[in-house]
């Protein structure tokens, strides 16, 4: 019998409701490993056995969705009592010529396929027989389970820091019991008394209030649990009201400030050929550049690594649109996710919001383009900073009946091709996920690369996500294949863009000779 469920937050559940056949809402990666010389084992079986022995470190991997009756409330995660690891880890092989380009094409095709919601929402595919003793691992997990920060935490479960896998203690025995009715009543009375013991100290009580839940999935229990949630939410809202009012005041102040008008105008996105409805096919490509060189550029330009990532993304998009005579005169923009996850938080959920930043595609000079991006990203952060305090309060708004209503609206948006006519909120998505600096291993094989495979949506066909690993930045480009059929051609220009930026910041020959 499965444990009592944990209801999804509104933000996590939104990724389920927005999903359509053309717009899957899972994220993943394409990892490349190298087997040690003389390897004679069975990597697939070793890898599967290792994951099976560590599943208790990431309980979300054994949790399936349980819908609320009539979809009146968000679904819950419950333990899958029919869990079978053979339904989640698969052995695969590549056709000739068994290279990374072939793997990328297959990953693009597979990433367009929806996950089975009757089972835990993740899958691993191990590709053997690649060139140079390499192994490919394509993984995907629904975004309702995880964000970039939580994905980094899962990395520590899958990988080791030595070729010899570490010993992981088995899970402790536990008893699966649900709350008794009298316990629920007692907890409710205790919480009620605590709530009103200091009625005017809402700020302190708001953080600690924790009303009881039945944890059951029948209609009556769902209504009871939702009532408890609404009471909690109201109290927490009252406790956070001073902070929220200050945030709203700051936002209004920035919007009405004449100095901010230019920045608001810069955040408006021009229509482009990238901002159309996408098909149910994907094109994917991965490419790596030096992390040290990118950091050196950031230091030389007075910016951050994120600014260099934006500049590189801007450069490759600018080249592509120029080749197709489709570069807009106005600067394009990028939607940039920003993590709200506190240091050390490894919860398997979503804690993120985003900002819109100009990527200065209208500027031909690479140095001027990067410096413009640095200035614009700084202003965008200042504009979005007041919203950080609001996000925890508005990201978990719950309303009975919302799930089915949002799903109907998402399907209507997808089928109506509204993204072809509406102004785009942004032109591309660019995300930077910090990763480990040390060499990692899985089942004895050395991890060479870990290319992110993210989400394309209607109106935002191109997603560029980068993860750092060792001394490299691994970029993953994914797009709707009807918009960019061969995104590899765009990705191939990224090293050239890095070289162009480096040349722009290189010391003049005369200065070099004087320094020597």
| 384: nearest Cα among 360, 341, 426, 354 | 354
Cis peptide before 123 (omega within 30 of 0): no
Q: Are 490 and 477 in contact (CB under 8 A)?
A: yes
Q: Are 329 and 138 in contact (CB under 8 A)?
A: no
Angstrom distance (rounded) from CA 265 to CA 377: 14
Is 143 known to be catalytic? Answer: yes
- The torsion angle over the Cα atoms of residues 413, 418, 419 and 422, rounded to 10 degrees, is -130
Which residues pair with residue 123 across a beta bridge? 140
Helix (H, G, I), strand (E, B) or coil at 285: strand
Measured at the alpha carbon of residue 346, what is the angle toward residues 87 and 168, in degrees to the nearest 5? Answer: 60
Q: Are 35 and 445 in contact (CB under 8 A)?
A: yes
| 432: nearest Cα among 337, 499, 516 | 337
Per the residue annotation, which of 143, 362, 449, 486 is the catalytic one?
143
Q: Are 34 and 135 in contact (CB under 8 A)?
A: yes
Angstrom distance (rounded) from CA 335 to CA 143: 17
- The torsion angle over the Cα atoms of residues 128, 132, 137 and 138, rounded to 10 degrees, is -100
Phi-psi region of 272 (alpha: psi -120 to 50; beta: other; left: phi over 0): beta
Which residue numbers are catalytic? 143
């Amino acid at each position: 019998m499965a444990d009592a469920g944990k209801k999804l937050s509104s933000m996590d559940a939104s990724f389920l409701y927005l999903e359509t056949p053309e717009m899957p809402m899972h994220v993943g990666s394409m990892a490349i490993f190298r087997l040690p010389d003389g390897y004679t084992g069975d990597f697939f079986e070793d890898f599967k056995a290792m994951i099976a022995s560590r599943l208790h470190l990431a309980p979300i991997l054994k949790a399936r969705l349980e819908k609320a009756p009539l979809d009146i409330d968000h679904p819950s995660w419950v333990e899958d009592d029919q869990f079978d690891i053979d339904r989640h880890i698969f052995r695969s092989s590549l056709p000739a010529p068994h290279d990374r380009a072939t793997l990328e094409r297959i990953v693009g095709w597979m990433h367009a396929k929806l996950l089975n919601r009757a089972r835990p929402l993740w899958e691993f595919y191990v590709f053997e027989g690649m060139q140079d003793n390499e192994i490919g691992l394509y993984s995907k997990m629904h975004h309702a389970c995880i964000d970039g920060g939580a994905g980094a935490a899962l990395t520590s479960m899958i990988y080791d820091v030595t070729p010899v896998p570490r010993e992981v203690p088995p899970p402790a025995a536990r008893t699966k019991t649900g709350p008794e009715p009298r316990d629920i009543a007692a907890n409710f009375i205790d919480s009620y008394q605590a709530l009103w013991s200091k009625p005017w100290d809402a700020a302190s009580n708001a953080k600690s209030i924790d009303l009881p839940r039945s944890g059951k999935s029948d209609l009556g229990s769902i209504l009871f649990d939702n009532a408890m949630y609404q009471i909690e939410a109201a109290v927490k809202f009252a406790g956070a009201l001073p902070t929220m009012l200050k945030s709203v005041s700051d936002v209004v102040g920035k919007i009405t400030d004449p100095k901010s008008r230019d920045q608001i105008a810069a955040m408006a996105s021009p229509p482009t050929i990238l901002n159309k409805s996408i098909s149910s096919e994907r094109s994917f490509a991965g490419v790596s550049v030096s992390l040290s060189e990118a950091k050196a550029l950031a230091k030389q330009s007075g910016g951050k690594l994120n600014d260099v990532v934006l500049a590189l993304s801007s450069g490759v998009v600018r080249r592509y649109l120029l080749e197709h005579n489709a570069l807009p005169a106005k600067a394009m923009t990028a939607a940039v996710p920003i993590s709200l996850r506190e240091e050390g938080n490894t919860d398997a959920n979503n804690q993120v919001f985003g900002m819109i930043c100009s990527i200065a595609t209208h500027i031909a000079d690479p140095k001027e383009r990067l410096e413009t991006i640095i200035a614009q990203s700084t202003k965008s952060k200042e504009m979005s900073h007041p919203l950080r305090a609001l996000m925890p309060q508005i990201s978990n708004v719950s309303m009975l009946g919302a799930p089915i209503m949002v799903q109907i609206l998402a399907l209507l948006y997808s089928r109506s091709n509204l993204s072809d006519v509406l102004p785009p909120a942004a032109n591309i998505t660019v995300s930077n996920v910090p990763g480990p600096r040390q060499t990692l291993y899985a089942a004895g094989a050395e991890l060479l690369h870990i290319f992110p495979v993210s989400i394309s949506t209607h109106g935002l066909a191109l997603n560029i996500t980068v993860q750092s690993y060792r001394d490299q930045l691994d970029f993953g480009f994914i797009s709707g294949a009807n918009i960019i059929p061969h995104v590899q051609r765009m990705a191939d220009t990224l090293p050239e863009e890095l070289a162009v930026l480096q040349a722009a910041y290189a010391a003049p020959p005369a200065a070099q000779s004087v320094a020597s």
